[in-house]
């Protein structure tokens, strides 16, 4: 799983960033044109790993399911949950081997010699000098993979079936990347976001990777009014051609570093694929790839006037580059508008999933846990840790994987509370900044360009009433 990566950033979905290993999975498997996450890191992880939009005691981690089926569980990467997720679902209580962090920022070891937030190895906090790494200077995406490969080797020796959960932190801020990766992209973004966005859209249309009828949304400012500070240079749209050559060069570097972070993630996915292939496991392994939310434009630069790239930079991506990442959709991380909640989703399973196929059936991270039940051919447990288990909110994607039509779930939910979306059938309501519900027909307007709320108030009320009885609604959500 990628972090804060836009729908069109990877090559398999139209991006110019080099992702040959993710592309290999896409070419050999199935791509969804409409798949939802929860629009932010912690709710996406909470929902994906439990199959619940919201819950508590009685939630079942998918690692509990694989363990029940006799699998060795391995996790290396980011752990970040909502407060409702029980303690027994945390990494050290689910995985046989785990290397994880809550939400650290740095990629390189910072000049201070200590990471801002700790890393843990199977529940034990590690100092920076205790983290195993094959390549120096140490870089987070690389050493996350180092741990995963080490444990895969151990599992292969025992010939156990395995479940590997590999949630990378790429390409979350800060913009830090290895110099050789940055150099690959330097100068490629000088044509600017306006031209590049149209180029991505044209490629996506040719590839068939967005919903039928999707149009390129017009440029707009970041509409999120709750995540500041609000610096116009970062939050507002401006035309590339209006900028000086010096400013363009600085912005080219910004996007080159972001591309380099994704490139390095793909290189590491390639390491995992090679490990599977070299050990004769690739042909009998199902692999899924997705992102936790759309591209993120929120300004968090701790050290102004420091160029992006090195270990002492805390540069962030701005709205205009994030808008490129979310082509062709509107808005960004946190938002229930498609730019925040729409993710690429790839499923690769040699001999089972037909290669180079695309589906327009709608899916959601809430459907992944029930899919695991089907894949493992086991029953959902009646209880866990002394608690009656909570019924799953999603439904299995296995029929879609097999090229069949599944019965679409009654509804899909995404977005943060003030930026919530609720979709049922072709219609979707969404609000921004806690405002009035907007209404979109996703069958005819998947880019959300025409708000139908004023013309169809009955439909808005119908969906709002349905949402008010959903697992994530509060009393304040009654229309």
- Report if residue 230 sits inside a domain: yes
Which CATH number do you get for residue 429?
3.30.1120.10
Examine the domain organization and report whether 92 and 135 are in the same domain.
yes
Please give the residue range of the domain that contains residue 441: 416-477
pLDDT of 298 reads 83
Q: What is the DSSP string of 86-149?
A: -GGGSHHHH-SEEEEESS---SBPPTTSS-SS-EEETTEEE-GGGS--SSSS-BHHHHHHHHHH
Examine the domain organization and report whether 422 and 381 are in the same domain.
no
- Report if residue 349 sits inside a domain: yes
What three-state secondary structure class fits 224?
Answer: coil
Examine the domain organization and report whether 337 and 449 are in the same domain.
no
What distance lies between CA 281 and its chain's CA centroid? 26
How far apart CA 99 and CA 334 sit, in angstroms, is 27
Examine the domain organization and report whether 329 and 427 are in the same domain.
no
Strands (E), 291-394: 345-348, 357-364, 383-384, 387-388
The token pair at 194 is: 């306006």
- Report if residue 406 sits inside a domain: no
- Neighbouring CB atoms inside 10 A of 178's CB total 21
How far apart CA 236 and CA 160 sit, in angstroms, is 52
- Neighbouring CB atoms inside 10 A of 166's CB total 20
The token pair at 443 is: 């069958």
Domain total for the chain? 2
Examine the domain organization and report whether 447 and 317 are in the same domain.
no
Examine the domain organization and report whether 349 and 467 are in the same domain.
no
Examine the domain organization and report whether 91 and 17 are in the same domain.
yes
- Report if residue 331 sits inside a domain: yes
Per-residue pLDDT of the chain (479 residues; tens, 9 = 90+): 999 999 999 999 999 999 999 999 999 999 999 999 999 999 999 999 999 999 999 999 999 999 999 999 999 999 999 999 999 999 999 999 999 998 777 999 988 898 888 999 999 999 999 999 999 999 999 999 999 999 999 999 998 899 999 999 999 999 999 999 999 999 999 999 999 999 999 999 999 999 888 999 999 999 998 877 778 888 999 999 999 999 999 999 999 999 999 999 999 999 999 999 999 999 999 999 999 999 999 877 666 567 999 998 888 999 999 999 999 999 999 999 999 999 999 999 999 999 999 999 999 999 999 999 999 999 999 999 999 999 999 999 999 999 999 999 999 999 999 999 999 999 999 999 999 999 999 999 999 999 999 999 999 999 999 999 999 987 556 55
- Report if residue 161 sits inside a domain: yes
- Report if residue 407 sits inside a domain: no
- Report if residue 37 sits inside a domain: yes
Examine the domain organization and report whether 130 and 212 are in the same domain.
yes
The candidate with the shortest Cα–Cα distance to 329, out of 34, 41, 2, 22, is: 34
pLDDT of 229 reads 73
pLDDT of 26 reads 98
- Report if residue 411 sits inside a domain: no
How far apart CA 167 and CA 2 sit, in angstroms, is 6
Pair 119, 126: CB distance under 8 Å: yes
pLDDT of 105 reads 79
Pair 146, 74: CB distance under 8 Å: no
The candidate with the shortest Cα–Cα distance to 31, out of 188, 204, 186, is: 204
pLDDT of 224 reads 93
Examine the domain organization and report whether 183 and 286 are in the same domain.
yes
Examine the domain organization and report whether 331 and 473 are in the same domain.
no
Examine the domain organization and report whether 123 and 168 are in the same domain.
yes
pLDDT of 172 reads 95
Which CATH number do you get for residue 316?
3.40.720.10
DSSP 309: B
Examine the domain organization and report whether 223 and 303 are in the same domain.
yes
Q: Pairing relation of β-strands 421-424 and 412-414?
A: antiparallel
User: Residue 288: what are its φ and ψ, rounded to 5°?
Assistant: -125, 140
How far apart CA 40 and CA 50 sit, in angstroms, is 16
Pair 137, 108: CB distance under 8 Å: yes
- Neighbouring CB atoms inside 10 A of 94's CB total 21
How far apart CA 1 and CA 231 sit, in angstroms, is 30
């Amino acid at each position: 799983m990628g972090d804060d990566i836009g729908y069109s950033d990877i090559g398999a979905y139209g991006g110019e960033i080099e992702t040959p290993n993710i592309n290999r999975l896409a070419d050999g498997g199935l791509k969804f044109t409409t798949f939802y996450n929860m629009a932010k890191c912690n709710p996406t992880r909470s929902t994906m790993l439990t199959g619940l939009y919201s819950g508590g005691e009685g939630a079942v981690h998918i690692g509990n399911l694989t363990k029940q089926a006799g699998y060795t569980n391995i996790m290396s990467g980011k752990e970040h949950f909502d407060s409702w997720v029980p303690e027994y679902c945390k990494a050290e209580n689910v995985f046989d081997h785990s290397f994880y962090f809550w939400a650290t920022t740095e990629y390189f070891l910072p000049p201070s010699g200590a990471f801002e937030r700790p890393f843990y190895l199977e529940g034990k906090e590690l100092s920076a000098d205790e983290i195993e790494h094959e390549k120096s200077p140490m870089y987070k995406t690389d050493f996350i993979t180092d741990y995963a490969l080490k444990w895969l080797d151990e599992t292969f020796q025992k010939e156990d079936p395995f479940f590997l959960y590999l949630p990378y932190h790429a390409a979350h801020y800060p913009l830090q990347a290895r110099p050789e990766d940055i150099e690959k992209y330097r100068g490629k973004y000088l044509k600017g976001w306006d031209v590049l966005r149209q180029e991505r859209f044209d490629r996506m249309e040719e590839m068939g990777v967005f919903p039928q009828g999707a149009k390129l949304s017009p440029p707009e400012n970041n509409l999120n009014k709750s995540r500041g500070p609000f610096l116009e240079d970062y939050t507002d749209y401006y035309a590339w051609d209006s900028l000086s050559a010096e400013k363009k060069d600085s912005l080219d570097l910004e996007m080159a570093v972001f591309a380099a972070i994704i490139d390095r993630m793909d290189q590491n996915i390639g390491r995992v694929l090679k490990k599977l292939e070299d050990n004769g496991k690739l042909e009998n392994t199902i692999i899924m790839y997705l992102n936790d939310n759309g591209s993120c434009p929120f300004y968090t630069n701790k050290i102004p006037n420091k160029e992006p790239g090195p270990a002492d930079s805390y540069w962030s991506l701005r709205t205009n580059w994030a808008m490129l990442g979310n082509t062709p959709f509107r808005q960004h991380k946190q938002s229930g508008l498609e730019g925040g909640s729409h993710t690429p989703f790839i499923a690769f399973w040699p001999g089972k999933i037909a290669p180079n196929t695309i589906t327009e059936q709608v899916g959601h991270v809430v459907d992944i846990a029930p899919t695991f039940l089907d894949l493992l051919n086991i029953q959902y447990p009646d209880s866990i840790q002394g608690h009656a288990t909570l019924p799953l909110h999603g439904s299995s994607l296995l029929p879609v994987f097999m090229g069949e039509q599944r019965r679409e779930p009654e509804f899909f939910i995404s977005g943060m509370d003030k930026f919530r979306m609720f979709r049922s059938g072709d219609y979707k309501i969404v609000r921004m900044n806690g405002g009035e519900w907007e209404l979109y027909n996703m069958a005819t307007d998947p880019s959300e360009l025409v708000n139908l709320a004023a013309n169809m108030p009955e439909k808005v009320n119908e969906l709002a009433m349905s949402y008010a009885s959903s697992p994530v609604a509060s009393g304040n959500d009654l229309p």
